[in-house]
Structures are given as structure tokens and as C-alpha cells.
Amino acid sequence: MSSQLTALTSGESWVILDLAELGGMDSGSLEALAAARERARRAGGDVLLAGPRGAVAWLQLTGWDPLFASVAAAGFSARLAALTSRMAAARAGE
């Protein structure tokens, strides 16, 4: 999982991970997610988690915020955040 997340976040600032079909996650996976999130945030984005269910729902206890009910909701949030960031940068350049 770690190498796949590294590949995803090395080229993208916004990454949405659909966890709906994921049956479980260990602490190593959580560490990989945190590292991926740090890379994405340094690039001006974030790693958004969508659809955690069952054994993965404990992610809510880790403080990972926000968690999205669906990929569509996460995508909307990512587009809105990117637009807000571009507008702020444009205003700062005025």
C-alpha cells in the first residue's frame, strides 16, 4: 500500500481514496496514509478518504478529518478547496 500511495501522491496534490470495499487496515497502512497526506499537503492539496465502513470506520477515532460518505462528496470538497485556494492566491497577487 505504501508504494502505491507514494506513486499516487508524488504526481497529484489532491487524492481521493475510496475505502468502501476495504475490509480492514493496520497501523502500517495508517502510517502510509499519514505520509501520503503530508506529501499532498506540501503540494497544496490533501488526501481525502471516502466511504470508510465496517472495520475501517475506526479511522474516525484517529482524528482524520474530514471523512466523506462517498467519492462524489470528497470530489466536490476537493474541487471547492482547490478553487478557494486559487482565488486566495489571485487576490494576494492583486
Residue 1 confidence class, pLDDT cut points 50, 70, 90: low
CA dist 15 and 5 (Å) reads 9
> Of 23, 18, 21, which Cα lies nearest the Cα of 70?
18
pTM, 2 dp: 0.76
**Domain residue limits, the chain:** 2-92
Question: Could you read off the pLDDT of 50-67 as tens digits, one per residue?
Answer: 988 877 877 877 778 778
Half-sphere exposure of 2 (CA within 13 A, CB side): 9
Average pLDDT, the chain: 84
What is the second-level CATH architecture of the domain 2-92?
2-Layer Sandwich (3.30)
What is the reported pLDDT for 12? 75
